[in-house]
Structure 1
Amino acid sequence: MKELIRINYESENPTILGRDLHRVLEVETPYHKWFPRMCDYGFIENVDYMTVDKNVLRADGTLMPQVQHDHQLTVDMAKEICMIQRTPKGKQCRQYFIDLEKAWNSPEAIMARALQFANHQLNLVKHQNEELTGTVAVQNQQIIEMKPKVSYYDVVLNCKDLISTSAIAKDYGKSAIWMNRYLHDKGIQFKQGDIWLLYQKYAEEGYTSTKTHSYCGSDGNQHTKVHTYWTQKGRLFIYDLMKADGILPQIEIEMA
């Protein structure tokens, strides 16, 4: 359908500018006098039309000092105004608007608008989801940043009990045999019978504590055996010693 007059499709329903209709109808009466006369036929502002103001350009492209009043008309109002004119141009415009309404309300046009609206809503939801995802990611990062990292020192300081060499070795993914050999090679301890003891230099630092355990031997008699345990101070001593050699506990390797 050839465009007879410009239609605005930006609102929910199509509208026509009053001045455009006035021009196409070839009305001789100035618009500012003609439009109020049309409104006397019972048209209601904000129902049948909306007043819009716009700046007017001169021929040289500069703005005129006054603001020009215009109006967005519904198609129904535009049709009735065309009938009021009782001119061939009025009849032509009225038929144009009738054909326009038929096209606007056709199943194809309704479906197209529905799809357009659905796409708009989908894009809106996608945008909201992106913003939400970004917000969650930032919050997770902030939680990670605020969460205090648990160091090996923290673990040790929270433990007050004596601890075996096997347990300390396990912190590093090592065995008690490896740990005892390492401490021996570093000149920290020596083996006396079945028990590892610290050299005098370290024995006075409170790094270890011995415990005597009773057990029933294969001969059926009760026997005793002494075991050496490390205090938490001694545990930290081993930590500093091994860290100097580039050996870290598993908990610190995992955080790196």
Structure 2
Amino acid sequence: MSKHNGASNNNTLIPLTDNDGVQAVIGRDLHAFLEIGKDYSTWFKDMCQYGFSAGQDFSPISGNINGAGRPRTEHIVSLDMAKEISMIQRTEKGKQARAYFLECERKAKQPAALSGPELMAAALVEAQSTLRALESKTRELEAPAKSWNTMAAQGGDYSVSAAAKTLSRDPSIRIGRDQLFRFMSEVGWIFRTKGHRAHWEAYQAKAIETGRLAHKLSRPFLNEKSGEMEQPAPTVRITPKGLHELHVLLGGSEQQPLEVAA
């Protein structure tokens, strides 16, 4: 069950909603802030085509949550979906909204204020826990930098899934395989073919020739129904140069710069 709390805080950039203890946003509030040039229902249907799922990324709710006016369909949108939608707009308002949601998540993770004795007890527990976990934490912190340096040294190309996992090691980036495909499509690196074997392909001029992406060809296989050899669609691979540019485009900040091998 959600509770809309935007009316009580006039300083809120975009009102947030408490969706069973998790921060979320009302779709119409986001639509209004982004200053979209089409009606809400059409725009939201367009956004859902990017692979968002009802019940996971958003939840429809009936009625008027503000308690007045004609009932209409609303949507409770997760902050992850709201961030991605904001990024998709590729506008200053979109950038501002994404930064705002990231800040909301950061503040939500901050601990509540403690009394003096509580702070002392918490500090003692934290110190003991830190000593026990130091070795494990050190390995964990070294892994991202090692991953970036190793890839630079190898100078190979990488699957979209592996690239998404590596990019997400930067605390400023949180992206999955499918989201990365959609992002590369938004920046004009790849496109989706049509037909019963639709797949992603890289643009020759903007992605292949610039060294951002590569195509990996698979072995032909025998189609048992037709009795003929068929060539599978090429697989999109991300080069170190492309990975570095994606790191910048996605707002990466804390990782070491990726030095692309010549």
Using the size of structure 2 for normalisation, the TM-score is 0.37
